[in-house]
Structure 1
Amino acid sequence: METALGRSYEEFLDYYEVDLRYIQGPRYIGPALNEGADIWGVRRNAVVAGSEDKAESYSDTLTPPLGDAESPEDVEKYAHWPDPDMFNYSTIENQCDAILQNNRLVVFMGDRLNRVAQLKPAMYLRGTENIFLDLAFRPEIAGAIFRKIRTFYLPYLDRILHAAKGKIDIVLTGDDFGAQNSLLVSAPMWREFLKSGFAEYISVIKNHTAIAMHHTCGSVVAIIPDMIECGLDILQSIQPEAAEMSLAGLRKTFGRNLSFHGGISIQKTMPYGSAEDIRNEVRRIASLIKPHGGYIFCTSHNIQADTPVGNIVTLMEAYREYGQY
C-alpha cells in the first residue's frame, strides 16, 4: 500500500492529521520461545491473504496447548504461563515521548495476539469450541483459565502504565464478545465469567488516569450497560452490519455515557463503495457526530486487502473535508 500511496505509513497518517499513535510496549526478554510459538506457548501458522506484497496476513492457531486439559489442576500445571517479569519496561516512557513531541495521543494496545483480554487468549489456549463447551458444561476449567490469564495481564498492564509515568493517554483492551447477530456467549454467562475481569482491567487503567477503550467485534448491545458500569470510556470498533450496532442507535441509547470509535463499513462501503458512496457515508457520520462529539473517526475494523487504495484516499480526503468542526 505504501508504494501505491507514494508515502510511508507514518507520512500518510501525518498528512491527514491522524491523532492516535501506538507504542509497541515492553520488550520480551524471557526464555527463548519455541519456533512459531507466542508467549502463551500457542503455535500458529501464517496465512497470506490477497495482496501482491504479502503484507496482509493472519495467523491460524495450530493445536491449542490446553486442548486436552481435564481439570483446573491441569490448567495450573501448564508450563507456559507468561510472567510480567519476562518483559523489559524501560523504554516505554521514551516511546511515549517520541509520540508526544509530535502532539499526538499515545495509545497502548499490545499486538493483535497479545492484547489485554480474557476470552480471546482462552480461545487460543483451549480451542474455541472447547472454551465455549467449558463455559456451559465444565465451568471450573473455564474459570481456571480466565484466572490464570488475568493473573498475568493485571500486573503486566499496571507495570506498563507505571513505566509510562502518566504519558499513555488511552489503553485499548481487546476481546471479541460478539458475532454478527448476537453475543458469542449469553449476557448472563458474560456477567458470571468475564465482567469482573473486565472491570479489573479498567480499574488498573483508571488508577493511572488513562482512558479505557475496548475493542470487540460484533453485536454486543446487550452488555454495553455492563461495560459502562465497569467504567469503559470508548467502545471500538462499531460494525454497522452487526445486529443493533448502528452508530446512530448506539449514540441515542448510550451516548451520554460512552464514546465510540469506528463505524465505517469494511464489509461494504470500503471494498465495494464508489467514491461518492464513501463521501456520503463520511458526511452522514460527521453530521451525526457534530452536535455532541464523543466519536473517533475510523473504519469498523482493519481495512482489508481487497479494498482499493483509491477508496482509502477518498475516505481520508472526505474526513478532512467533513470532519472538522
Structure 2
Amino acid sequence: MALHHERPDRAPINFRSTDIVAENLGKYYGKSYDELLEYYQVDFREVIPPYVGPAFEKSADGTFYDEWGVRRRERITGHSRDLYVDLNPLGDVEDDDDMDKVLGYKWPTPDAYDYSAVERLCDQYEGYAICGPGIHCEGYHGVFHQLTYLFGMENAMILLMSEEEMMQEAVRRVTDFWVGYYDRLLTASKGKMDFIFYKDDMGTQNSLMINRDVFMTYFAPGLKELCDMADSHNATLIYHTCGSVMPLIPDFIDAGVRVLDPIQTSAKNMDIHVLKEKFGDKLTFHGGMDTQQDLPNLKPDAIRELTKETLSVLGKDGGYFFSPSHRIQQDTPLENIDAMYDVALNWNEY
C-alpha cells in the first residue's frame, strides 16, 4: 500500500546497522539477527545469492582481491568493520591511449553467483517484502562508485571529464554486470522478489559529487536500464544515493526510480518537508531517520519526537518506508534505537 501512496495501518519498517551494532543488540537482548528483525517487526528481508567464483585469497598482510580485481583491506574501528580499497587496478590509466587496458580488463561476470536457492529463500520469507542484495551488503556498489574503485577517485573524476569514449566503455561493462546480475536474480525468484536495492552515491554533504551533465551522460541511461529491467519482472528498484542530491531527483524520476533512499536529512537541502511537497506524489521515500547527527546525539525523548515528525511528514498519504538513513553506527545509544522503533511500531496519529 505504501508503495502505491495509500496509507497503511503503519509505515513499513526496515532495519540497517553496522554488523557491530547488530551484534551488540543481539547480545543485549539475547537474540539472533533474525530474532532481532522479528523483535523490531521489520517488514523487509534480503535474499543474497552466494558468490561461487574464484576464491578471494587473503595475503599475509590481510588484503585480498575482490571479484572486480580491486585490492581490499578489512579495517575494524571503534564504530564498524568495513572493507576499504587498498589498490585501484586501473589506477594507471591516463587517456585514450590506454583504451586496451579497459577493453582487455578481466571484468567480472554475473554467472559467478549461484541463483539456484533464490526461489526457496523467497518462499522462506513469504509474507515479507523481499529485496535483492544491497541494504546491508558491503561490495554492492553501482556504476559510478565501482569506477572510482577501479580507476581511483581522483583519476576517475578526471577521466569522466576528459576521456568520454573510454569511460563509456567502462560504464557499459559495469552496467552490463548489474543488469545481468539483477536480471538473473529476479528470474530465479520467479516473481517472488519485490525489490532490488541499487546503491550509487551521487552526493556529498553539501552538494553533488558530480555535475548533472556527467550524470546524464554516463549514469542516467544505465539507471533507466536497471529500472526498466526491474519493472519487466514486476519488481521495484530502490535507489540508494547518499548526500545532497536534490538537483538530480527529477532526473532519477525520469529514469524510472520510484523509491529513493536514504533521505540523508543532515545533508544540505534534504529537508523532508520540501522533499515530500515536491516529489511525494512521484516517489516513495525509504530512510529519513538521521544516523549521522540525530540518532547518536539526541536523548530518547527527542528521538521519539523526531520519529513522530518524520512519520507525519514522509508518511502522509503513504509513500514512505521507515528506516534509518544509513547503517546505525556504534556510537548510537541502544535506548535511542529502541525509542525510534517503539514509535514506528506503536504511534499512528498522522
Q: What TM-score results when the alignment is normalised by the length of structure 2? A: 0.87
Residue 255 of structure 1: aligned partner: 280
Report the CA distance between 1:290 and its aligned residue.
4.4
User: Is 1:83 aligned to 2:91, yes or no?
Assistant: no
CA RMSD of aligned residues (A): 1.6
Q: What is the alpha-carbon distance in structure 2 between the residues aligned to residue 93 and residue 323 of structure 1? A: 34
Question: Could you tell me which residue of structure 2 aligns to residue 7 of structure 1?
Answer: 31
Structure 2 residue 230 is matched with structure 1 residue 205: yes
Paired with 1:262 and 1:3, the residues of 2 have a C-alpha distance of: 25
Structure 2: gaps of 5 or more residues:
1-23, 59-63
Deviations 1:169-207 (A, max 9, x none): 111111011111111100111101111011011111111
- Residues 1:123 and 1:218: Cα distance change in structure 2 (over 3 Å): same
Q: Distance in 2 between matches of 1:291 and 1:86?
A: 43
Partner of 1:23: 47
Q: CA 1:137/1:144 → structure 2, altered by over 3 Å: closer, same or farther?
A: same
Q: Aligned AA for 1:75? A: V
**Which whole-Å CA distance do the structure 2 matches of 1:5 and 1:127 have between them?**
42
Residues 109 and 116 of structure 1 are in contact (CA less than 8 Å); yes or no, is this contact kept in structure 2? no
Amino acid in the other structure paired with 1:309: L
User: Residue 68 of structure 2 is aligned with which of 35, 40, 56?
Assistant: 40
| CA gap 1:313/1:262 in 2 versus in 1, 3 angstroms | same
> CA–CA distance in 2 between the matches of 1:159 and 1:317?
38
- Alpha-carbon distance in structure 2 between the residues aligned to 1:272 and 1:32: 41
Output aligned runs, 1:1-325, within 5 Å: 1=24, 2-24=26-48, 26-35=49-58, 36-50=64-78, 56-70=80-94, 71-79=98-106, 81-100=107-126, 103-110=127-134, 112-115=137-140, 117-323=142-348
Q: 170-179 or 33-42: which moved more?
A: 33-42
What's the secondary structure of 1:190's corresponding residue? Answer: helix
Hey, what's the Cα distance between the residues in 1 that align with 2:117 and 2:256?
29
The separation in 1 between residues aligned to 2:54 and 2:199, in whole angstroms, is: 26
SS in 1 for 2:249: helix
> Residue 65 and residue 113 in structure 1: after superposition, are their counterparts in 2 closer, same or farther (change >3 A)?
farther
Q: Which amino acid aligns with 1:236?
A: D
Match of 2:7 in 1: none
Q: Counterpart amino acid of 2:242? A: C
CA contact (8 A) 2:182 2:196 kept: no
Bigger relative CO (Cα 8 Å, ≥ 6 apart) = 2
| Cα displacement (A) at 1:282 | 0.8
Q: How far does residue 323 in structure 1 lie from its aligned partner after superposition? A: 4.4
Shift, 1:95, TM fit: 1.1
Closer/same/farther in 2, CA of residues 290 and 150 from structure 1, 3 Å limit: closer
Is the Cα contact below 8 Å between 2:276 and 2:313 reproduced in 1? no
Greater mean deviation of Cα atoms: 104-113 or 229-238: 104-113
In structure 1, stretches of 5+ residues that fail to align are: none
Deviates more, 1:69-78 or 1:293-302: 69-78
Identity, % of aligned positions: 35
How many pairs does the alignment contain? Answer: 317
